[in-house]
Structure 1
Amino acid sequence: MSWVSDYQYKWYETLAMNVVRAGGNVPRHIAFVMDGNRRYAKSQCLPKIDGHSHGFEKLANCLRWCLDMGIKEVTTFAFSIENYKRSEEEVNDLLDLAREKFRKILLEEQKLNEHGVRIRVIGNINLLPEDLQLLIAKAMMLTEHNDKLFLNIAFSYTSRDEITQAVETIVKLGEGLEPEDISQRLIEECLYTRNSLPPDMLFRTSGETRISDFLMWQISTTVLYFTNILWPQITLWNFLCGIFTYQRACLRLEPFKRHKRIEHAMQAKECNYYSDRVLNFLQKLDSYRKNVLYSLSTSN
C-alpha cells in the first residue's frame, strides 16, 4: 500500500468534498490520533499487527483526502513511548511494520515528490533501533524540499518527553544564554514541532475522549473531534463530519485564536526572543539538528 492512496471518488463524494470545502474555513493543520487498530483486529479475528496494517491503509486514504481538501499539514500519532510497555512480540511487530513503511518511502520518491509530500518524524528516535533511525533519517532527507503537504509522524513520542527534550536541548546548547532569555517562546522553538503551526483540529477515533499525551503544549486553540469509529474503519464521511464540526466551531474560536496570536507576538517582544544571544542559540540549534539528521542518513 502506497503512502498516498489513489482513492477513486464517486461523483457524490466529489460533490460532498466541494460542498464542505466551499462551506467555510478548511483547517490548515489536522492532527490524528489513529486509535482502535487492535480492537479492529480483535473484532475481525485477526492478529494485532494486521489491525495496524489496515490502519496504515486508512492513513494513506486520509492523506489523499487531505491533499484534495487543501489541508497543508497532517500530524499522526503513530507510536507512543508508552507503547514500549506492550508485549515484546507486539512491539517488535510494530517496529517491523515501521521498517517496511519507511522503506516504502525510499521506493516512492517520485510519487511523493509529485504530490509534494514532506515527511517529518517527531519524537525521541534515539530510543529506536539504529537501522530504523537510518531509514527515518533517509526518508526525511529524501522529501525535505517538498512543500505541498507536511506529514509529521509522531513516532517514539509523548508530549512530556518532548518538553523534557526541549529543556535538555537548552541546557546542552544554551551556553551564553542568560536566565532572562528563557521564555515560553524559546521552549516552543526547541520542541519537535518548531516548524509547524499549532493544529487547528485534533481528530481521534475509537470513542476514547482522551489526548493521551499528544501535542499537549500545542493544542490550546485546537478544536477536538472524537468519533466512535475505529481507525481502520474510518470513511470519507467520517472525515468530512470532522471538517464540518471544525467549521462550526471555528466561528466561535477565531476571535480567541486571533487574541492568542497577538498575545504570542507581544510575549516575543517583551522577552529577549530577538536578542543576539537567543538568535545565536536558535542558529546553533538548527545546525545541530541538520547535522544529526545528515549523519544518521549517511551512516552505514
Structure 2
Amino acid sequence: MRPFAAPAADRATAVGAEVLPRHVAIIMDGNGRWAKKRHLPRIAGHRQGIEAVRRVARAARALGIEALTLYAFSSENWRRPEEEVSDLMGLLRLFIRSDLEELVRDNVRLRIIGDYRRFTPDLVELLDNAVARTAVNDGPILVIALNYGAQAEIAAVARRMAERARDGLLDPSVIDETMFEGELETHDLPPLDLLIRTSGEVRLSNFLLWQAAYAELLFVDTLWPEFDGDTLAQAIAAFAQRQRRFGGL
C-alpha cells in the first residue's frame, strides 16, 4: 500500500495553509504487532506507542493543525486481557503526569471524549485536572478518545433528543443533521477533515462514524510505534492532492 505520491523532499513544505486539514484524527493501530515482530511483550509496543503520540502531537502543532484526535482506548478494548488493560491505564497516567506541563507551556487545550468516568477514580481525577489546567489555553486542541465508541455516542444523542421530545421540550419535526451534530461530543471542534488508520487495517472500528461522513480516509501500512512527524507530513501531502466535492461536482 503506497498512499503517498508527493516526492519525499517536498512532503513537509508542499502543503499550503489553504489545503491544510484543520482537524486530523488517527486510529493508532499496530503496537502489538510492532512488539511481536521484535519478540517483545505487548506492553513494549504500547510504550513505544506513547512515544509516537508525543512525536505526532508535536508535529501536528508545528504543522499548524488546529485539532488532533487520537483513538487511545475504545469501548471494545475492555475485552482485552485484564493485565493489558491495566498496563494501558498505567501508561495513560504516565503520559498525563509527564507531558501535562509541556501541553500547558505550548498553549494546547486537552480534551477527552468518551465515557472515561468508567476508569478508576484516581485516573478520572487526573484527567479532569489535566483538562482543567489547559482549559484557558487558546491554541491547538489535543483530543484523546477514551472508552469511546461512535455507536454509543450516536445512540446517546438520539436518547437525549427522544427524552426531550417525550417531555414536550423538543419538536421532533425540527430535528435535522445540524441539530444532531450539535449534540455530539465533538460539537465544538472543527469538522473532521482527515482520518488516518495505521498498520494496514482498513476499517473505522467504531471511531467518529458521524464525524467521518465527509472526511478523507487514509489507510497506511506503518505500524503506530513507527509513525512520526515525517509520516504525518506525508499524510497531509496526500490529503492536499484529494479533490473534496462534498457531494457536488
| 1:259-296, Cα deviation, whole Å (9 max, x unpaired) | 6xxxxxxxxxxxxxxxxxxxxxxxxxxxxxxxxxxxxx
Structure 1 residue corresponding to 2:64, chosen from 55, 67, 70 = 70
Q: Does 1:84 align with 2:81?
A: no
Q: Which residue of 2 aligns with 1:98?
A: 92
Taking the aligned partners of 1:232 and 1:80, their CA distance within structure 2 comes to 18
**Which letter does structure 2 place at the counterpart of 1:123?**
G
Residue 222 of structure 1 deviates from its aligned partner by: 0.8
CA distance in 2 between partners of 1:163 and 1:105 (Å): 31
Q: Which runs of 5+ in 2 are unaligned?
A: 1-7
In structure 2, what is the Cα distance between the partners aligned to 1:92 and 1:43? 23
After superposition, the C-alpha distances for 1:176-215 in whole angstroms (9 at most, x for unaligned) are 2222243322221221111112211111110001111110
Q: Deviations over 1:131-153 (max 9, x none)?
A: 21111111111101212210111
User: Which residue in 2 is equivalent to 1:216?
Assistant: 209
How big is the shift at 1:234? 1.6
**Quick one: which of 191, 196, 220 aligns to 1:198?**
191
Aligned to 1:256: 246
Deviations 1:70-114 (A, max 9, x none): 1111000000011000111111111121122223345x1xx3233
Contact 2:108 2:141 in 1 (8 A): yes
2:133 corresponding residue in structure 1:
142
Residue 47 of structure 1 deviates from its aligned partner by 1.8
Tell me which residue corresponds to 1:267. Answer: none
Computing the radius of gyration from Cα coordinates, the structure with the larger value is: 1
Match of 2:46 among 13, 38, 52: 52
Q: Is the 8 A contact 1:105 1:139 kept in 2?
A: no
Separation in structure 2 between the aligned mates of residue 64 and residue 173 of structure 1, nearest angstrom? 42
Q: Please report how far the alpha carbon of residue 172 of structure 1 lies from its aligned counterpart in structure 2 after TM superposition.
A: 5.7
Distance 2:73 2:121 in 1: 17
Query: In 1, Cα distance between the equivalents of 2:71 and 2:210?
Result: 15
Helix, strand or coil for the counterpart of 1:256?
Answer: coil
Would you say how many aligned residue pairs link Structure 1 and Structure 2?
239
Q: CA separation in 2, counterparts of 1:18 and 1:42?
A: 31
Identity fraction in percent: 36
Which of these residues, 144, 167, 171, is aligned with residue 178 of structure 1? Answer: 171
Moved more, 169-178 or 203-212: 169-178
Verify the 8 A CA contact 2:112 2:145 in the aligned structure 1. Answer: yes
Match 1:116 to one of 107, 130, 134: 107
Partner of 1:229: 222
Residue 125 (structure 1) aligned with residue 116 (structure 2): yes
CA distance in 1, matches of 2:162, 2:18: 44
Q: Distance in 2 between matches of 1:47 and 1:170?
A: 45
Residue type matched to 1:25 in 2?
Answer: V
Taking structure 2 as the reference length, what is the TM-score of the superposition? Answer: 0.88
Query: C-alpha distance in 2, partners of 1:30/1:102?
Result: 21
Q: After TM superposition, list the pairs within 5 Å mapping 1:273-284 onto structure 2.
A: none
Higher helix share: 1
Give the RMSD, CA atoms, in angstroms. Answer: 2.1
Quick one: distance in 1 between partners of 2:92 and 2:164? 31
Give secondary structure in 2 for the equivalent of 1:54: helix
